[in-house]
Amino acid sequence: MGKLYFQEERATKEILSRVTNLCGECYDDINLGDVIHYDTQQYRYICDECEQTINTKTNEKVSLCEDTLF
């Protein structure tokens, strides 16, 4: 998925005033200045840790599919 589906940003006062200050995946707090990622497929902000976890899982699935196809 990576950069195609996630836009990396810093949590600003403006962003946090428009959306909840919770990660859309794990519901952990998002604080001012945190690295966050906008998920363009699910239309939500997620924390850096969840973005990395989702990317790892997705890459593993893609790798498994490639192994079975070829």
Number of domains in the chain: 1
C-beta atoms surrounding 62 within 10 Å: 11
pLDDT one digit per residue (tens) for the chain, 70 residues: 556 789 999 999 999 999 889 999 999 999 999 999 999 999 999 999 999 999 999 888 877 776 676 5
Dist. CA 33–CA 39, nearest whole Å: 18
Question: What 3-state class would DSSP assign to 7?
Answer: strand
List the structure tokens of 39.
């998920």
Dist. CA 12–CA 10, nearest whole Å: 6
Name the one residue in this structure whose structure tokens are 């196809």.
Answer: 69
Q: What is the pTM of this model?
A: 0.80
Host domain of residue 58? 2-69
C-beta atoms surrounding 67 within 10 Å: 8
